[in-house]
């Protein structure tokens, strides 16, 4: 493991036994970055460092199954992605329960509540409850944000066992910042995670967007190896008053309790991991 040999540099074409699929993934990523704009085979080949004709073959296959659509002579993301994305979200039990539970939160139902899952050092946002606040502070579903600066991310990271956390932070020195208040160093992050563990919830005080504060709690995964989830409440800093915040924190803890696997919560920990679902 000390042997840090550089195998390849471009996309992870490396050792896949189905390189066309790996490359298709790279193409989808590239199209997602240039959001909305169509890209032709030549441009994609240039960006990904792959042969032009291979790209064309894969894009045509992707177009046939609907994952991309043709815009004139180029390609853009296709509508089947919405279908499959919806199917994925529907398959995550927490998402369904999240929507139900959010509506019956005392104070939290008025605010913007979000559900996300940890993936590496990023959070993928899976669900959003829109409160009655007119301002749309939140990011769209499917968006990814750094776990190191978000309330959801810090709540999730704080729940990892130390070895796992070290593995994810391995090789990181400085953290890319989003605002002036963003934690910029790994040491600062570790110190904040200690506070999160003791406090029981995470705070993002204008670390992602200026003027906006978030509170986050961890929600454990239900299957082995499934990264922890987290829920957060987002509000304008002016609304985060001393009397309102405690109510929101209580709602978050209630939400986390309800979204924790009932089977796992009901039975005392210590039994074997055999859990029958559905």
Q: Which residues bind DNA (CB under 7 A)?
A: 17-20, 40-43, 50-54, 56-58, 73-74
Residue closer to a copy of itself by CB (options 162, 224) is 224
214: left (phi over 0), alpha (psi -120 to 50) or beta: beta
| Closest C-alpha among 134, 75, 76, 130 to residue 102 | 130
- Phi, psi torsion values for 205, nearest 5 degrees: -100, 85
Q: Which of 42, 49, 70, 167: binder of a copy of itself (CB under 8 A)?
A: 70
SS3 for 183?
coil
Total of chain residues touching a copy of itself, rule CB under 8 A: 62
Quick check: 22 binds a copy of itself (CB under 8 A)?
yes
Question: For a copy of itself, what does the binding mask look like between residues 130 and 159, x meaning CB under 8 A?
Answer: x---------xxxxx---------------
Which partner, DNA, a copy of itself, none, binds residue 171 by CB below 5 to 8 Å per kind?
Answer: none
* Tokens 């709602």, located at residue: 251
Q: Is 232 in the site for a copy of itself (CB under 8 A)?
A: no
Q: How far is the CB of 82 from a copy of itself (least distance, A)?
A: 4
Half-sphere exposure (Cβ direction) of 10: Cα atoms closer than 13 Å: 14
To which H or E segment does residue 98 belong? Answer: helix 93-103
Counting Cα atoms < 13 Å in the Cβ hemisphere of 206 gives: 9
Counting beta carbons within 10 angstroms of the beta carbon of residue 236, is it exposed (0 to 12), middle (13 to 18) or buried (19 or more)? Answer: middle
Question: Cα–Cα distances in Å, from 100 out to 92, 104, 109, 169?
Answer: 14, 7, 11, 35
CA 92 to CA 108: how far, in whole Å? 22
- Find the part of the chain contacting a copy of itself (CB under 8 A) among 147-155, 166-174, 221-229, 264-272: 221-229
Q: How far is the CB of 18 from DNA (least distance, A)?
A: 4
Which residues in the 79-118 window bind a copy of itself by CB under 8 A?
A: 79-91, 93, 117
Specify the residue for token string 């070895």. Answer: 163
Q: Pick one of a copy of itself, DNA, none as the site partner of residue 84 (Cβ within 5 to 8 A by kind).
A: a copy of itself
52 binds, among DNA, a copy of itself, none (CB under 5 to 8 A by kind): DNA
Which H/E stretch holds residue 24? helix 19-33
Return the residue of 10, 46, 51, 71 that touches a copy of itself, per CB under 8 A: 71
Q: Which stretch binds a copy of itself (CB under 8 A): 2-10, 21-29, 160-168, 234-242?
A: 21-29
Nearest approach, Cβ of residue 261 and a copy of itself (Å) = 14
Three-class secondary structure of residue 80 per DSSP: helix
Chain contacts with a copy of itself (rule: CB under 8 A): 12, 16-22, 24-26, 28, 31-32, 35-37, 57-58, 60-62, 64-67, 69-72, 76-91, 93, 117, 119, 124, 126, 130, 140-144, 223-226, 278
């Amino acid at each position: 493991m000390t042997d840090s040999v550089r195998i390849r540099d471009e996309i992870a074409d490396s050792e896949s036994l189905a390189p066309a699929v790996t490359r298709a993934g790279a193409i989808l990523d590239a199209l997602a970055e240039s959001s909305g704009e169509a890209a032709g085979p030549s441009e994609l080949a240039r960006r990904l460092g792959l042969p032009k004709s291979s790209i064309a073959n894969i894009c045509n296959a992707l177009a046939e199954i609907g994952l991309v659509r043709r815009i004139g002579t180029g390609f853009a993301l296709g509508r089947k992605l919405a279908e499959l994305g919806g199917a994925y979200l529907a398959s995550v039990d927490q998402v369904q329960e999240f929507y139900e539970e959010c509506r019956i939160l005392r104070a939290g139902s008025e605010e913007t509540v979000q559900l996300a899952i940890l993936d590496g050092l990023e959070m993928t946002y899976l669900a959003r409850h829109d409160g009655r606040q007119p301002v749309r502070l939140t990011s769209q579903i499917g968006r990814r944000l750094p776990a190191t600066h978000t309330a959801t991310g810090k709540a999730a990271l704080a729940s990892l066992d130390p070895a796992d956390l070290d593995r994810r932070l391995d090789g990181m020195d400085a953290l890319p910042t989003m605002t002036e208040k963003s934690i910029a160093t790994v040491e600062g992050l570790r110190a904040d995670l200690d506070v999160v563990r003791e406090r029981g919830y995470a705070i993002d005080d204008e670390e992602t967007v200026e003027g906006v504060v978030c509170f986050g709690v961890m929600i454990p995964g239900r299957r082995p190896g499934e990264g922890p989830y987290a829920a957060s409440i987002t509000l304008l800093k002016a609304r985060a008053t001393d009397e309102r915040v405690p109510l929101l924190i209580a709602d978050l803890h209630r939400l986390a309790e309800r979204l924790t696997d009932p089977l796992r919560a009901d039975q005392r920990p210590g039994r074997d991991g055999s859990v029958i679902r559905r």
